Each structure stands twice: as C-alpha cells, then as structure tokens.
Structure 1
Amino acid sequence: MKLGEVCIETNDVIKLADFYRGILNISSECRDAVHQFIIADGVSLTVYNNGFIKNNLNQNISLAFTVEDVDREYERLLELGIHIIDAPRLQPWGAKNMHFCDPDGNHIYFRSLVK
C-alpha cells in the first residue's frame, strides 16, 4: 500500500492553489474553483472545496516537502512575500527545516536532508 493523495480542503480553491503553485514553483493555467491538482506525479497534492464552509482551525496536520537547498528556498519564499515562522535550522534528526503557513493556516515545512 502507498499513499496516493494529500487533499487540502479550503473555502478558496483558486487562492490556495495559486499559493501552492508559487511556493512549489509549478505553473498551471487551471482556474477550477472546486478542484485542482497541484502535483500529479507519485503522490498527488490537490486543493478541493466540497461545498461546506471550513473553519480554518488547522492544528493537526502539516505538510513537509523535501527540497534540494532549503537556504535557497528560504530566500526565494522571502522574495514571494511568504511570512517564515522558523528560518532554516538544523534539527536533531538530521534535516535542515524551515516552517511557514499557507493562507488557510496549514503548517508547511521545507527541508533539506543533510548529507
């Protein structure tokens, strides 16, 4: 068994999908207000509105993306105007992480695995 999809439910699919395309440096012309694939290779990342209002009290999940160089990504996200909660720093488990949130308050980590 393998994980097939992570779906982020939101009140504003276009806004959140645009945010994720920006931080992940992915381009797409999709403007669907109900469902958008952001990453479709391997494990999919989708943004979806099922018609119910979300409270955006997102406290129990975070997304972590492994990147080649977390310091370079830190600089790129600052240029995009992303508020960084924790700047890149080496963690006890050997990864170098930075932490920020998406517009709905979901916690996101970019990490590089130190060689």
Structure 2
Amino acid sequence: MNLTHSCIITSDVKRLSEFYEQVLQIEAEFYGEDYAEFKVGQSTLAIFDLNAHDSSAPGSAQTASNKSIILEFNVENVDKEYERLKKMNIDWIKTPTTQPWGNRSFYFRDIDGNMISFYTHVS
C-alpha cells in the first residue's frame, strides 16, 4: 500500500495554491478553478474547493479547521529553507530544532491553518 495523495479542502483554491507555490517552489497544475495539484516527489498534494467537494460529499468537510494532521516535507537543508521562508508572512509554530530521533525540523501553518513540517534527517 502507498499513500499517493493528500488533499486540502479550502474555500479559496487560488489563494492557497499561490501560498504553496511559494513555499514548495513548485508551480501548481490547475484543473479548472476548483482543483489544483502539486507533484511532490512520488506524491501529490491536491487543493480542492469546498463547494465542489460538497457536491459529492455534502457536509463532510470544514475548511481552515485542521488541528491534528501535519504535512511533512523532507528537504535537503532545513536551516536554508527556514531562512528562505522567514521572508514570508508565515504563522510559525516551531523554529529549527534537532529532535531526539534524528530529524532537524521546523513547523508552521499555511494560510488556512494547516500545519506543515520541513525536516532533514541528521546524524
């Protein structure tokens, strides 16, 4: 089994996609105005409009309310990415820290409040 997609439901696909374009330095591929994808390694991060989602699964999602899932991205150099992203207006959770299990990481939130972690394994 492989996890191939993660999807964020939002009320503003364009705005959230522009945020991720800056953060990931990857251009979104749009499929209409209500859906965008980012190819990230072997996975896909999708951004999907709430109203479009509600047409197939009414009432099943609420935007900007995630408090339990973290999108984690393995990056080459955590400290370099932190310095680059510090120039953006970001809601920071944790500055770069080396964890006991061997990862150096930092946490922040996207503009909908979803938690993101950038990490690098260090020895």
TM over 0.5: yes
Q: 1:111 to 1:57 in 2, by over 3 A?
A: same
Identity of aligned residues (%): 37
C-alpha displacement of 1:58 = 0.8
What is the Cα deviation at residue 62 of structure 1?
A: 1.0
What per-residue deviation string (whole Å, max 9, x for no partner) do you get for residues 77-101 of structure 1? 0112323221101011110010100
Cα RMSD (Å) of the superposition?
Answer: 1.9
SS at match of 1:44: strand
Distance 1:2 1:31 in 2: 24
SS at match of 2:111: coil
Give the AA of the match of 2:90. Answer: I
User: Any gaps of 5 or more consecutive residues in structure 2?
Assistant: 55-60
Match of 1:20, SS state, is helix
- TM-score, normalising length from structure 1? 0.89
Aligned length: 115
C-alpha distance after superposition, 1:10-36 (max 9, x if no partner)? 111011111111100113474843000
Distance 1:55 1:3, change over 3 A: closer
Pairing 1:27-46 to 2, within 5 Å after superposition: 27-28=27-28, 30=30, 32-39=32-39, 41-46=41-46
Q: Note if 1:83 corresponds to 2:91.
A: yes
Gaps (5+ residues) in structure 1?
none
CA distance in 2, matches of 1:58, 1:30: 23
**1: CA distance between counterparts of 2:87 and 2:96?**
15
